[in-house]
Amino acid sequence: MSEILYNRVALIGLGLIAGSMSLAMRRAGVVGEITGYARSPETRDTAREINLVDRVCDTAADAVKDADLIVLAVPVGAMGAVMAEIAPALKAGALVTDVGSVKKSIFEAVTPLLPHDVSFVGTHPMAGTEHSGPRAGFAELFDGRWCLIVPPDSANEADVVALERFWRALGATTERMDMDHHDLVCAVVSHTPHLIAYTMVGVADDLSRVTDQEVIKFSAAGFRDFTRIAASDPTMWRDVFLENKDATLEILGRFTEELFALQRAIRQGDGEHLYDYFTRTRTIRRGII
């Protein structure tokens, strides 16, 4: 019999991440009741139809009013508005968390709106697919994946430890990280690679004679991966770049410098530069698998 970690959990936003959390919470048996709210009536209807959470509410306030843990699982740019909507309904002693892919801007948007007797600790499960919406979730999404725990300096240690236990119960491995560092690391390992995939698929699409049939027909694993990544939700990724502007621009600057150096090496027939570069990157791959 699993220990109940939170009696009531409210999920705001009922898409891929919230849906997967609900299914993983049920699998782990660590939560009493799971309530949920999403802005669109269609999403709420679908969530009811597939029994995604125990109770789908028609207002955000209703979903959070008795909750011990409230999870904001909406696009990054909507976190502040959602927090403003739920703040008056939160119970004393509740903990608010979010699962957004960017941490500093969410902290800045959410914490000024927190009632004095409610705490906030950010999290970021490093798991996803190119699918979105209430039908996209599955209980195994977080198994063996990182979930970064990003407590503000003012966080209560007991809240942080409880959230770590919660995410581990959902299958993830946790690590604590400072929010600025989180945003830089994610710009390197997730955000900029997504932008590169969007760009590469855009380039192929520009050559529409090729994409019409041949790109898909002949695409090898690399380009197929790009098309999968570039099929990710446009609202989510628009918000990620708008809200992680500084770190993404820093990494994009470095990326374009390296790309120009490779471009020059190709033009000048500098095989040594290309060989040395590819040898270095190959070593990195061997270090992570």
Q: Which residues bind ligand NAD (CB under 6 A)?
A: 12-18, 38-40, 43, 73-76, 78, 81-82, 99-101, 124-125, 128, 132-133, 136, 233, 236, 240
Annotate 139-160 with b (16+ C-beta within 10 A) or e (fewer): bebbeebbbbbbbbeebeeebb
CA distance 41 to 190: 31
Q: Which is nearer to ligand NAD, 87 or 262 (CB)?
A: 87
Q: Which is nearer to ligand NAD, 38 or 247 (CB)?
A: 38
Least separation in angstroms between CB 261 and ligand NAD: 31
What is the 3-class SS of 124-157, one letter each residue? EECCCCCCCCHHHCCCCCCCCCEEEEECCCCCCH
Q: Which is nearer to ligand NAD, 18 or 57 (CB)?
A: 18
Least separation in angstroms between CB 165 and ligand NAD: 20
Given a contact cutoff of 8 angstroms between Cβ atoms, the answer to whether 100 and 41 are in contact is no
Q: Which is nearer to ligand NAD, 119 or 123 (CB)?
A: 123
Q: Which is nearer to ligand NAD, 238 or 254 (CB)?
A: 238
Beta-bridge partner residues of 124: 148
CA distance 111 to 118: 10
Least separation in angstroms between CB 139 and ligand NAD: 15
Least separation in angstroms between CB 24 and ligand NAD: 13
Least separation in angstroms between CB 175 and ligand NAD: 15
Given a contact cutoff of 8 angstroms between Cβ atoms, the answer to whether 204 and 211 are in contact is yes
Beta-bridge partner residues of 176: 149
